[in-house]
Amino acid sequence: MGLFDRHAGLLDAYRDVRTTGADPFQIRMERVLSPTEAIINGKKCLTVGTNNYFGLTFDPSCMQAAIDAIQAEGTGTTGSRIANGSYSEHVALEDEIAAFYGKKHCMVFTTGYQANLGVISTLVGPEDFLLIDADSHASIYDACKQTQAEVVRFKHNDPASLDARLRRLKDRDEGDRPGNRLVVLEGIYSMLGDSAPLKEFIAVCKKHGAYVLVDEAHSLGALGENGRGLCEAAGVLDDCHFIVGTFSKTLGAIGGYCVSNDPDFDILRVTVRAYMFTASLPPSIVASVRQALKVVKARPELRRQLWDNVATLYDGLAAQGFKLGPEHGPVVGVHLPDRMMAIGFWRAMLDAGIYVNVAVPPATPNGVSLLRCSLCAVHTREQLEHMIEVMTGIGRQMGVLTPKLRAAG
Amino acid sequence: MSTAQNVIVENDDVPLSLRRHPTRGEVMAEICTQLDAFRSDDAQVIRGATVISKDLSIDSLAVMDMIMELEDRFDVSIPMNTVAEIHTVDELADTILKLAARR
């Protein structure tokens, strides 16, 4: 058996995808023009699939901070913080994020993926229990593969399902099984844009004495009065033992973090391999992220603009009869009947000058095929109305919109 | 008696809720119900020796979702670490019965 034989099924599926004439997984942005526009296939396209929620990738103050940092401290750190030491700016960034959440400790990672992978897999060990939502991000699933804890999966956004699984962690003869319980949730789920019923989850966790970790990757900036995420919006910041997030979406760069009030939190710096054995963030990234965090705090109107845009796109598509994710969110998932239909729709949109993501099984929950759109605070109303018009046209042509709904739209 | 479906009938006389632990027949019946939609063709019969990920048209995520339904049906939790070691319908039934007995 050849090394790649085990991927035969995937190769077949991938071949099918490419028969549409475009490969959505190897799209080339020939030139990125702004947070909402890029040249793709020689043509200027509207980008509605880049997770650039506040549009800060082109914020002049963030760009200038990065330029200044490169000139002052060079292009990279060339090693991990364990080996090469921390730059003052790494420490300053950690202090600022901890203060942003009102937590005592913060650790910064080179990517959000590594933050989840490293922290989750290390917090729990042999004899412990890790409970994850069924629709968790790949970084959380990969942490499950690395940890030695027993991993139990509960139904997506279903506190009763978690409650049942925590209750079952006992033996008839020996009673409650020893070991810590860690529950992992996400502020906003990346495929359908829905939020966790966090208050209810926290109540279940308290009842069973479980620790809670919330990944705010897609909710940082978007949710909460100060943009701290779902923990803030739900009023449970103090009940979340660990909050993880990323710099690669709202903050427009790359990197991850974890904050906590646990007095021994810093021991993770010498136990989490995803922190110890990889190079630390370069000065330019640290500088632009520090500035972006200042912008998030200083410009709450960006959050309002983002949600206005969410409403425009979500309500506009819903009115035309598209089947969408369950609620308004900075990610709007558009359901399509199957993989080939999703790829075909995606391709037609690209031909019409609009770039979104396409998400197909096995990367999606419940085997659904989706066009995944993510909004930006600086999308204009005209851009989004144009997008709805284009999608409605394609949807009618492909027979995705039913006649009845067409009439209603 | 070669199919799992046949085994069910014999043990289906008492409602599950009245018994403390499920019988093997009940577990097999429920597994067959859950896997029915994933048969490669209508003629395929699910047996104890059926290898779930190989003989059926089911991907790894759907296997985990199916297992979650079984967990709630029999009030057990099958750790994901254990799922990797379950290949056949028989092994899945054994795992559920073993966990149910510990309740």
**ipTM given for this complex:** 0.84
Q: Is A144 on the interface with B (CB under 8 A)?
A: yes
Residue B89 identity (one-letter amino acid): V
Q: Nearest-CA neighbor of A101 among A212, A244, A205?
A: A244
Chain A: closest CA distance from residue B48 (Å): 25
What pLDDT, on the 0 to 100 scale, is given for residue A405?
47
Do A286 and A74 meet the contact criterion of CB atoms below 8 Å apart? Answer: no
Note the Cα B14 to chain centre separation in Å.
19
pLDDT at A34 over 70: yes
Q: Nearest-CA neighbor of A268 among A114, A142, A130, A148?
A: A114
Q: Which of A150, A164, A366 is facing B79, going by the closest CB pair?
A: A150
What pLDDT, on the 0 to 100 scale, is given for residue A116?
98
Per-residue pLDDT band for A144 (boundaries 50, 70, 90) equals very high
Strands A331-336 and A354-355: unpaired
pLDDT at A21 over 90: no
Q: Is A325 on the interface with B (CB under 8 A)?
A: no
pLDDT at A166 over 50: yes
What pLDDT, on the 0 to 100 scale, is given for residue B11?
45
- Region B18-22 average pLDDT: 70
pLDDT at A12 over 90: no
DSSP result, chain B: --SHHHHHHHTTTS-GGGSSS--HHHHHHHHHHHHGGG-SSTT----TT-BHHHHSS--HHHHHHHHHHHHHHHT----HHHHTT--BHHHHHHHHHHHHHT-
pLDDT at A341 over 50: yes
CB within 8 Å: B81 and A150: yes
Q: How far apart are CA A367 and CA A166, in angstroms?
A: 27
Q: How far apart are CA A400 and CA A407, in angstroms?
A: 14
Stated as kind and residue range, the H or E segment containing A129 is strand A129-133
Q: How far apart are CA A36 and CA A376, in angstroms?
A: 7
CB within 8 Å: B65 and A361: no
CB within 8 Å: B68 and A134: yes
- Region B18-34 average pLDDT: 88
CB within 8 Å: A161 and B72: yes
Residue A12 burial by Cβ neighbours in a 10 Å radius (0-12, 13-18, 19+)? exposed
Determine the 3-state secondary structure of A171 from DSSP.
strand
What pLDDT, on the 0 to 100 scale, is given for residue B19?
53
pLDDT at A408 over 80: no
pLDDT at A403 over 70: no
Q: Nearest-CA neighbor of A149 among B64, B79, B67, B76?
A: B79
pLDDT single digits (tens) A306-326: 999 999 999 999 999 999 999
CB within 8 Å: B75 and A151: no
Residue A103 identity (one-letter amino acid): K
pLDDT single digits (tens) B39-72: 988 889 999 999 999 999 998 889 999 999 999 9
pLDDT single digits (tens) A229-238: 999 999 999 9
Q: How far apart are CA A213 and CA A117, in angstroms?
A: 12
pLDDT single digits (tens) A76-96: 999 999 999 999 999 999 999
Note the Cα A156 to chain centre separation in Å.
16
Determine the 3-state secondary structure of A196 from DSSP.
coil
pLDDT at A202 over 60: yes
- Region A138-145 average pLDDT: 96
pLDDT at B103 over 70: yes
The nearest alpha carbon in chain B to A166 belongs to: B77
Q: How far apart are CA A139 and CA B84, in angstroms?
A: 19
Q: How far apart are CA A108 and CA A81, in angstroms?
A: 10
pLDDT single digits (tens) A271-318: 999 999 999 999 999 999 999 999 999 999 999 999 999 999 999 999
What pLDDT, on the 0 to 100 scale, is given for residue B102?
85
Chain B: closest CA distance from residue A280 (Å): 32
Per-residue pLDDT band for B13 (boundaries 50, 70, 90) equals very low
What pLDDT, on the 0 to 100 scale, is given for residue A110?
98
Do B2 and B82 meet the contact criterion of CB atoms below 8 Å apart? Answer: no
Note the Cα A145 to chain centre separation in Å.
20
pLDDT single digits (tens) B73-98: 999 999 999 998 999 999 999 999 99
Question: Which has the higher per-residue pLDDT, A362 or A227?
Answer: A227
Q: How far apart are CA A250 and CA A51, in angstroms?
A: 7
Placement of tokens 């709007």 in the chain: A332
Tokens representing residue A219 in the block: 């909710």
Question: Which has the higher per-residue pLDDT, A49 or A11?
Answer: A49
Q: Which of B62, B72, B77 is facing A367, going by the closest CB pair?
A: B62
CB within 8 Å: A151 and B81: yes
Determine the 3-state secondary structure of A318 from DSSP.
helix
Q: How far apart are CA A150 and CA A162, in angstroms?
A: 15
| Average pLDDT in chain A | 94
Give A46's strand partners: A37, A354
Q: State residue A371 phi and psi, 5-degree precision.
A: -100, 125
What pLDDT, on the 0 to 100 scale, is given for residue A161?
97
Q: How far apart are CA A325 and CA A62, in angstroms?
A: 33
Q: Nearest-CA neighbor of B99 among B68, B78, B72?
A: B78
**Helices of type H across A173-269:** 198-208, 230-233
- Region A173-180 average pLDDT: 87
User: Taking the model in full, what pTM does it have?
Assistant: 0.92
What pLDDT, on the 0 to 100 scale, is given for residue B86?
95
What pLDDT, on the 0 to 100 scale, is given for residue A7?
85
* B59, B61, B95, B96, best to mutate vs chain A, most A CBs in 10 Å: B61
